[in-house]
Amino acid sequence: MKVLGSKIKDVRERKKMSQQELAEEICPYAVIRIIETKNRCDSLNNFIAICERLEIKFDEYIEYTVEEKVNFFFDEIEEKCNRLEHKEAYELMNNFEIENVNQDIVTMIKYKYYQGITALLGAEDFSTAQVYLYQVMDYGENVNIYSILSINALGASYALTNEMDKAKVYYDKSMVLLERYTGEMEPIAYKAYYNSAKFYSLLEEYEMSIRICEQAIQLNKKYKTLYYLDLLYYELGFNKYMLNQDGIMEYKISYYLCQVFENKELPKYIIEDSKKYNIPFQVDENGVIKKRL
């Protein structure tokens, strides 16, 4: 593992600590010498312990490749989208220069997908969004999960301009491709489930929306993951209420998951729903759910 050895040395010397003192009860002091002179550490656990002793964040002292940095950047964009911070994500993507990156197919598909989805949701620039998303299809429909998400996002772009027939074509297509998808079930795959559930709910196809939510929730249970569960449980609760079913438990699960995931936007919609649809869901001034009377 490549590390920023000179920076580690600078911190150690500022703290007036010898190599032996830094290494004590962690590793042989020669490991510190290799870190500082060769910019290499063969043990992540040792490196984390060294950084903790220096009171620094270990991930800021690892020398990442350009490809790794790009993937971290896309992860940041995705996180902002998950938190409904679409304008911030759009601004970040606008300042990203793809020319400085090794342009392999997977990277280009991610780039065009995120340019498309942030233009769509962060700037409401439908034409620009569709240009990028259609370009993804030039690479094939099932290259990776971002190919499927781009088709899904095309559905969203038409839905936002009230072209529901066109939107349904792409949502249907993305769900078929997702069911046929044989690659690793990446976290972002669950986004297609949520987006589709939300769309079918908009069409008042509530049973279809419920089925999609439950399918995604079951996949999380199968793989012992927590991907998009705050959003999926919210959509599940909403659609149950639209069918006059009791969805209060799903709303509660979603609300508390928002606190775990630090999702500050979705709880606002949950509270709005409770007032609009007379759902017996209230929280106190501390954000704690009140017991049903």
pLDDT reported for residue 293: 43
- Average confidence (pLDDT) per 10 residues, the chain, 293 residues: 92 94 92 94 92 92 85 89 88 84 82 95 95 92 85 95 96 92 83 94 96 95 92 96 93 92 88 86 69 51
For tokens 């990446």, name the residue. Answer: 186
pLDDT reported for residue 292: 53
Give me the sign of the Cα torsion angle 162, 164, 170, 171: positive
pLDDT reported for residue 8: 94
Are the C-beta atoms of residues 39 and 4 closer than 8 Å to each other? yes
Residue 32, Cβ neighbours under 10 Å: how many? 25
165, two tokens: 């027939």
* Cα 20 from Cα 30, distance rounded (Å): 9
Are the C-beta atoms of residues 202 and 160 closer than 8 Å to each other? no
Name the phi and psi angles at 3, rounded to 5: -130, 165
CA 21 to mean position of chain CA atoms: 40
Domains along the chain? Answer: 5-60 (1.10.260.40), 65-176 (1.25.40), 184-293 (1.25.40.10)
Residue 65, Cβ neighbours under 10 Å: how many? 10
146, two tokens: 């971002």
Are the C-beta atoms of residues 222 and 258 closer than 8 Å to each other? no
* Cα 41 from Cα 36, distance rounded (Å): 9
pLDDT reported for residue 285: 63
Are the C-beta atoms of residues 133 and 109 closer than 8 Å to each other? no
| pTM of the predicted protein model | 0.74
pLDDT reported for residue 201: 96
Say which DSSP state 98 is in: G
* Cα 101 from Cα 259, distance rounded (Å): 36
* Cα 266 from Cα 81, distance rounded (Å): 12
85-to-110, 114, 212, 246, 263 alpha-carbon distances in Å? 19, 13, 25, 30, 10
Name the phi and psi angles at 265, rounded to 5: -90, -45
256, two tokens: 């508390």
